[in-house]
Every structure is written in structure tokens, then in C-alpha cells.
Amino acid sequence: MDSRDRVVGKSVKRVDAFAKVTGRAMYTDDLCTRDAYIAKIVHATIANGKVLLVDTSEAEKIPGVVKIITCFDVPKNYFPTAGHPWSTDPAHQDVADRLLLTDRVRFYGDDVAAVIAEDEIAAAQAVRAVKVEYEEYPFVLDAQEAMKDGAPQIHEKYPNNILGHTTVRRGDYAEAIKEPGLIEVEGWYETPTVQHCHIENFICYAKEETDGRITVVASTQIPHIVRRIVGQALGIPWGKVRLVKPYIGGGFGNKQDALYEPLCAYLCTQAGGRLVKLDVSREETFVSNRVRHGIRTHLISYLRKDGTLVARKIECFSNQGAYASHGHGIVAKGLNAYPQLYPCENIEGDAYTVFTNKSVAGAMRGYGIPQAMFACESHTDDIARTLGVSPIQFRRDHLMPVGYVDGFSKNCNYFDTFNQCMDKGIAAIDYDRKRKEYENQTGDIRRGIGMACFWYNTAVWPISLETSSCRMVLNQDGSIQLQVGETEIGQGADTVYAQMAADTLGIPFESVHTISTQDTDLTPFGTGAYASRQTYTAGFSIHQTAELLRARILDHAHELTRMPAEILDIVDGEIVRTTDGQDLMTLGELATEALYSLDHSEHLTAESTYQIKSNAYSFGCTFAEVEVDIPACRAQVLNVVNVHDCGKLINPALAEAQVHGGMSMGIGFGLSEILLFDEKTGKPLNNNLLDYKLSTTMDHPHLEAQFVENFEPTSVYGTKSLGEPPTCSVAPAIRNAILQATGVGIDTLPLRPHTLFDTFCEAGLIKK
């Protein structure tokens, strides 16, 4: 049996399953001792303006209040918050526009003061007792309004509030659209501001050690990156900061930012180095952490009567909110998806990221592609409907062909993935029969079926650094300890790391002990969990390190057995002579002898770094079946099938779980989720789980995951991105199903009753 193909590809049990189901897994709050001081933040109650005075006199009288820090007390070290790898080139560094606390308020919920108290009650009372006097300025919530001359200026360095502007120019758009007889299809598509809604709210605690270093324990996706940002914010060497990430209850990109780790670290220095905990409420999470960018997209496509796509114009307006965070990268990625998903010779594209006085937008699962796919795939169905052709056939004719190579990323479409995925989805949901059955319906209750495709990259190269480091240590019993910088945030990464290590090293899966906690004092450098990068990138360093350790083990086996290392192998934890398959000793026996030998004692370890300079396309599609109650203005999803080509599945059960989670998030994005803001005050209106309509199990239909396993040639294990893709095409598939059911294309998310009512009235389906 080939020892290299024993574990990868099997649905083995998660390595953290027992700890989590028994409650033994320790999260940040579990680790914080009860003697910690409690920190709470005073948030601004205006959308734009300046703090003139912070009156803390009444708050300081409250028993248990230790200290109150205001925006006038903190150091003026501007720092970035985005969870991107650091660049030594200043031109490629993230925008440093944040302070620990600010006197220049830019959104309702901005951080203007912080309270340190002995307990939760005293801290909460003190926050309410702090009085803040403001000078209010006019504010703006809409991205396109913020771009106009005369709009409130939010950051001095960015005229017309434009943080970034990206263009795509191919061919000659202006000349191409002059061709006689072209059919023009135009639409405006809009996606809302939403929040991640992970189970565990952001939480951290910090203390000063006896040597003056600061230890921060935080629920973060990016421990090594946050360590650097804390150093920048406090103006101290990065090595004086230790960042520890324990188990984490989800992140989805919200925790791919430095949220309050820098502030918490600073507060502990103002409390005599004492332990300070900063725990964020759900209401604060909605407003003062990060949200998904709301993006408005304008698309114009010109086609010949035979369906040939001649030219396309794309305009995207991304609502950044008050600070840069991940900034322009989200909409820039979305813009570049259009010419790759549907190659066209003549393209004119512009994407703008615009500051507004809304909550700060950052990374969220899909990183701009869910917004882009809603616009692109809704528009694709609009085109097919205008031409009178099948939406499936139009996609077969125009989607990225086999052999396509992107000029920037050098990504290549090696397989006929789109057709393979669509064929699987068509069969799974019985698309052809239902599409025909649901044609030309009348009546109040109608059904429809729709689909949408998606495009996604793996990791961030060549836009940014891609690197992964791994450490393996051989224990006395022949098991290994495995450490990587890529973080487990609930998705099952630790399990696939163990599978890959076991597979390459030749030991049982149970003999790999993955260390889930990342500690910047101990863990090899890694940039964290984002960009659906972890299995792909960590795979390189795990494979390389396992091969190094394997070579060291076999060299030592040569010493103990006198057999040439070239004819030795490790199979299922045994040292085997390959010429006749003879077991010579167990790996445990070798490890014990290596450590305790009086002749040659050696601790067998390996550590390496692998810089990844490749990327990979992930593709797939979603099929959705809906029932629409027109008078009630309600759409109910009956069936969703997601089909993915994410390369070889390392763990099929975990892969399926990822897809189900993504479909769930996509349903909420499509049907119900929107963070609303008061147009008169800028105040968030529904920043709680009662009024913010997160989808529940009652809203979930039958969900089915299907896979096309095309081995990715650029990947050491043949795998590529899966974490984010499942959420990318669900919303447009639902929208397109409603289009088939009603004949009405609804171009604004979410597709909630309010939106359906307005659109159905305009279409004459119901009367006001």
C-alpha cells in the first residue's frame, strides 16, 4: 500500500471535536482570570463632528472605577487595522488612519473614551455617566452622494471622499458600441451593509509582564499581524508584544482586523500593568467592529443578436464607512472578477471606494465577490431574458474557457470546470424539468428555479505576500507536535493540517497533535486565516517540513539499523525496508532511542518556511428553487444546491460543512440581512439579533453540496480555496429564481418583503 495516500481524502473526525462538544475547549473568556479589570468604551452619539469636552467627573465618583481615558489622553500614533501582511514598501502599506481613541468623530459609534473598572457593573455605570460635548458637522451615508462636490469631507487627504479608484480598460469600448444593431442591456444592482454575526463576539485581555512586555490574548484570525499593529499603535518595538490566540468562535473576516487589541494593550499600561479585559457586546459588534461593504454596481452590456458579447461597461461604488480598514481591495477584487468570469474584448471598468459616515467596512467572507456576483449573475440572467435564450446556454457560451490565463495573477483555468459544475447542479436539482414546469405561471403563488456561477482566487499572491511556516517535533512515542501560523477559527483547519502531515510523514492520523493555539512567542510565523488560503498555503510548508523531518528520521534509522536510508521508508508509523517490506522498528522505538541514547542523543525536529508565488482559481455554481407569494411579498427558498471545484478534497465531511455554512450565510445575504441607519442622525437602527433578521433554521430549505474534484496542478496536495466560495453565488441564484417565477428582476438586496412590495407594485403584479 502507498503510505502517501492513507489519510488525505478521508472524512476523519475533527481533532478538536471532543474538546468542543464536551465544553473543554478554552476560549478567550475562559482563560481570563476573575481578577481582571473590566474595560468598556464610550462611543460617539453623533455621525460626524469633533469632541470638544469629555466630562468624567461624575463617572469617576462611581465606586469601582479605576481610571477613565479620553481621546485627549492617548498617544497620537496613527495605525492601520487591516489584517494584511506588512509591506516594507510604504506605497503598499495599509492606510494608517486610526487612533486608540479619537476626538474627530466620523461615525455614530466611534470610540471617544474608555473606562477601566473593577467589575462589569461599575464599568457600565461609568460609561453612561461620562458626558461628551460635541461640535456636530453634516454627515453623508451614501457613497455616490459622498463623492459629490460640497459633500461633507470625512478625511482631509481624500478629496471627494474617494479612498481608491481602480480602472480596467480592454480594447476600445467607445468604438465597439458604435457597431450597428447591437442590443443594449443595462442595470443598477445594489447589495447592503451586513454584519458577520459570528457566535463569539470580539474579546481580548492584556497585561504587562514583569519584563515590561505586553501579553494580549484575543479572539483574532491574525495573531502575528495584530502583534505588529499593537506595536505600531503604542509606539513600541513589535517584539515587546506577545499575542496569543486560543480557540475562537468564528470570525468570517471581522476578526481579520485589529479591532480593540491595541486599545486593550494600552489600557493595561494605564492600570499599572494589571490585567484588563475588553469584551464587546453584540450591539457594539454590529456598529463598532466591521461590516460588509455595501456596493452599488452599474452594468451595461452590448451584444449582437446571436448573443456575442461585444462590449461591457462596469461601474462600482463601494461604501467604505468612516475608516480605511481593508479599503479599496474589496471592490477592486470584485471589479476584476467581471472580465475574468466573462471574458470580453472591449471593457471599460471603474471601481470607487468612498468614505461615508457609516460603520467601518472591512473583510467579510467572499471579500467583494458576493457583491460582484450578485450584480454580474443577475445581469447575466437579464441578458438571457432579453435575448430570449436559456440562462444555462448563455453561460456555457460565454464563461471563462478552458486554457484562459489571467495576465496579472497568471492563474489558469485548466479544466472544463464550469460545464462540469453546471451539469452536476442541473442533475441534482432536476433543473431542466422544473425550469419548463415553472414557465408562464399565473396566480398569486408561483415557483421558479434559478442559478448563478462564481469565480474565486486562492490566497493573495501576487497582490501581497504569501508565506507559511511550520514546525514539527517528534515526541518520545513516535507521535509529532504540529504548529503552523495559519489559524483554526472553527472551519476545521487543524484537522486537515494533521491529515496532510500524517500523509506526507507516513504516520497514523492519530499520531499528529496539532497545536491549535497560536502564540507569537512560540508559533512559527504565519499571516492567519483569510483569503481561503490556509489549506493551500499551509500545505506547502507542512509538506516541506514533513519531508525534512522524514529525512532526519530515516537518517537516524540508518544509524540504528545499518540499512541505507535510500531503502527505508515510514509506513503507518513503522520504519520499513522497502526492498522486502520488512518492519524494522516502530517510530516510537526510534524516537525513544534517539532521545535517550548514551551514544547519540538527538531531538528530532524540523521547521521551515515556504513562500508561495502561485495562485489558483476556484469555480462553481448555485442552483436555487423558490416559491413566491406575490400578495404577501414573500419569497421562500425551497431548495439550494451548491457545486464546487475546489480541487482535491482533503476531508470531504469538512468540505461539505463549509459549503452548508456558506449557503446559510448566502441565504441571509439574499433574503433578509441589512444593517439600517437613520437618515436624520446616522444612528444604526437594528444593531441587535432581534431586529437584524439573521436567517435561522426555520428559513433553511434542503441544502445540498456537490463537488467536482479536479486536482489543482499548482497545489502540493491538489487543493484550493473553499472557505469563502460557498457564499458567493447563493443570493443571485435566489434572485434569478424569483425572476423566473414572477418575470420581475429585483436588483436590490435583501429580497425582503419591503423590496418585493415596491418592485411588484412597479411591475403591476400588485396594487398599492
Task: Give CATH for domain 32-137+196-288.
Answer: 3.90.1170.50
With 60 as the cut, is the pLDDT of residue 1 above it? no
Alpha carbons 762 and 169: distance in angstroms, whole number: 36
> Tens digit of pLDDT for each residue in 600-610?
999 999 999 99
Q: Report the percentage of the chain scoring pLDDT > 90.
A: 97
Helix residue ranges per DSSP H, 521-635: 534-561, 587-596
With 80 as the cut, is the pLDDT of residue 50 above it? yes
Alpha carbons 676 and 670: distance in angstroms, whole number: 16
Instruction: Kindly list the strands in the beta sheet with 445-457, ordered across the sheet, starting from the edge strand earlier in the chain.
Output: 445-457, 617-629, 634-645, 702-707
- Half-sphere exposure (Cβ direction) of 384: Cα atoms closer than 13 Å: 24
pLDDT bin (cut points 50, 70, 90) of residue 699 is confident
Check whether the bond before 726 is cis (ω within 30° of 0). Answer: no
Alpha carbons 672 and 665: distance in angstroms, whole number: 11
* Reported pTM: 0.96
Q: What is the mean pLDDT of residues 626-649?
A: 97
Helix residue ranges per DSSP H, 214-293: 223-234, 261-269, 282-288
How far does the chain reach from its first CA to its final CA, in angstroms? Answer: 71
**For residue 562, what are the CA distances in angstroms to 588, 597, 616?**
18, 16, 44
Find all residues with CB under 8 Å of 307, minimum gap 6, and list them.
387, 389, 394, 397, 398
pLDDT bin (cut points 50, 70, 90) of residue 2 is very low
Q: Write out the residue limits of the CATH 3.90.1170.50 domain(s) in the chain.
A: 32-137+196-288
> Tens digit of pLDDT for each residue in 461-513?
999 999 999 999 999 999 999 999 999 999 999 999 999 999 999 999 999 99
- Half-sphere exposure (Cβ direction) of 415: Cα atoms closer than 13 Å: 20
C-alpha cell at 433: 424539468
pLDDT bin (cut points 50, 70, 90) of residue 6 is confident
Higher pLDDT, 1 or 58: 58
With 80 as the cut, is the pLDDT of residue 307 above it? yes
Q: What is the mean pLDDT of residues 329-334?
A: 97
Q: How many CB atoms lie within 10 A of CB 116?
A: 23
Alpha carbons 93 and 112: distance in angstroms, whole number: 26
Mean pLDDT taken over the chain: 96
In the block, cell 473606562 appears at: 115
User: What are residue 132's phi and psi, to 5 degrees?
Assistant: -120, 130
> Tens digit of pLDDT for each residue in 88-103?
888 889 999 999 999 9
**For residue 398, what are the CA distances in angstroms to 341, 383, 423, 518?**
8, 12, 16, 45
Task: Give CATH for domain 3-26+467-611.
Answer: 3.30.365.10
> Tens digit of pLDDT for each residue in 261-286?
999 999 999 999 999 999 999 999 99
Identify whether the C-beta of residue 351 lies closer than 8 Å to the C-beta of residue 312.
no
With 60 as the cut, is the pLDDT of residue 13 above it? yes
> Tens digit of pLDDT for each residue in 642-651?
999 999 999 9
Q: Write out the residue limits of the CATH 3.30.365.10 domain(s) in the chain.
A: 3-26+467-611, 399-460+616-763
User: What is the 8-class DSSP label of residue 79?
Assistant: B
Higher pLDDT, 271 or 696: 271
Q: What is the mean pLDDT of residues 569-579?
A: 95
**For residue 636, what are the CA distances in angstroms to 631, 733, 738?**
13, 13, 10
**Which parts of 475-522 are beta strand (E)?**
480-484, 512-514, 518-519
User: What is the 8-class DSSP label of residue 724?
Assistant: S
Is residue 329 within a helix (H) or strand (E), and if so which, with residue range? helix 329-341
Find all residues with CB under 8 Å of 671, minimum gap 6, and list them.
635, 637, 695, 699, 734, 750, 751, 752
**For residue 745, what are the CA distances in angstroms to 198, 386, 739?**
31, 12, 5
Is residue 574 within a helix (H) or strand (E), and if so which, with residue range? strand 574-577
Q: Which amino acid is at 275?
A: L
**For residue 697, what are the CA distances in angstroms to 196, 622, 656, 701, 702?**
17, 19, 17, 8, 11
Q: Report the percentage of the chain scoring pLDDT > 70.
A: 99
> Tens digit of pLDDT for each residue in 413-468?
999 999 999 999 999 999 999 999 999 899 999 999 999 999 999 999 999 999 99
pLDDT bin (cut points 50, 70, 90) of residue 3 is very low
> Tens digit of pLDDT for each residue in 519-568?
999 999 999 999 999 999 999 999 999 999 999 999 999 999 999 999 99
User: C-alpha 12: how far from its chain's center?
Assistant: 25
Question: Which of 480, 474, 510, 459 lies closest to 720 in space, CA to CA?
Answer: 459
C-alpha cell at 522: 512560540
**Which parts of 304-437 are beta strand (E)?**
309-321, 346-355
Identify whether the C-beta of residue 636 lies closer than 8 Å to the C-beta of residue 626.
yes
Q: What is the mean pLDDT of residues 295-304?
A: 98
Alpha carbons 288 and 110: distance in angstroms, whole number: 7
Mapped onto helix, strand or coil, the DSSP state of residue 462 is: coil
Predicted pLDDT of residue 400: 97
Q: Which fold has domain 399-460+616-763?
A: Aldehyde Oxidoreductase; domain 4 (3.30.365)
Letter string b/e over residues 527-544, b meaning 16 or more CB atoms within 10 A of that residue's CB:
bbbbbbbbbbbbbbbbbb
Predicted pLDDT of residue 5: 56
